Amino acid sequence: MSMIVSLSGGGIKGAVASARYAGEQDVVIVHIDYGQPSARAEIEAVEALASSLPRTKLMPVAVPHVLNLQGGGGADGDASKTTLGDSEAVLPPSVLRGLMPMLLSVGVQAAFRIGASTVVTGMTSRGAGAHLGLPSAADAAHLRPQFVHGFAIALEALQAGRTKLRLEAPLMDLSDGEVIKLAGRLGVNLQHARTCQSPDPHACGKCEPCRARARAFSSVGVSDPATIPVVTA
Ligand SMILES: [Zn+2]
């Protein structure tokens, strides 16, 4: 029986991508704490997700050196010395630029460790992605599929052509609204899906992912089951 590693930061796409496989295969949701202010709230979201899906477990992974690379952790590499405070809810772009290759690499490492057949990312070509260091979808929607394709080739080379572990991005061609519709068809409860970048347990309604989430729900005429303040500005 094959096993799936599904990367999730607690948001809607990770939830829907995981649900796409859950029930048919064993799913291990990998959440990566790289020092993002919202990590604690994200873990609660992925815990709720894992317990709501059949045959699904959670594997939390901490990669504390990511912020240290920016010099924020001090020379001794102590992440607790980072300069990010509660009021500084958004990580600087310099942290985010190399984030996605690192996240996928951790997923690959977890998959090899547990003998999974597939690493799944909920990445889409058209949705918000600046908070993950992805190229702007508005500028060039083809760049994200290109990135995933390139990573898949690297993974194939790593296995010397005897490809057993694959990378899949099942939501790549869907708009954010279409992802929400798919969540409805798959019966995914999005009440606990965590989109916000703020460290606060309650979503802020102001950051770019919160705004993109509101736009996505309204684009398909579905109300968000999570209570998020609506900020118009
Ligand atoms: Zn927010």
pLDDT in tens, 59-108: 999 998 777 765 544 444 444 444 444 445 566 666 677 889 999 999 99
Question: How far is C-alpha 188 from the geometric centre of its chain's CA atoms?
Answer: 16
Write down the pLDDT at residue 136: 79
Domain ranges of the chain: 3-219
Q: 55: CA distance to ligand 1 center in Å?
A: 30
Q: 195: CA distance to ligand 1 center in Å?
A: 7
CB neighbours of 225 closer than 8 A, spacing ≥ 6? Answer: 189, 190, 191
Q: 213: CA distance to ligand 1 center in Å?
A: 9
With contact defined as beta carbons under 8 Å apart, do 124 and 13 qualify? yes
Q: 96: CA distance to ligand 1 center in Å?
A: 17
> Is CATH 3.30.460.80 the right assignment for the domain spanning 3-219?
no
Write down the pLDDT at residue 86: 43
DSSP annotation of 118 reads E
Torsion of CA 66, 68, 73, 79, to 10 degrees: 40
List, for the chain, all residue ranges whose pLDDT scores fall below the cut of 50.
72-87
Write down the pLDDT at residue 81: 41
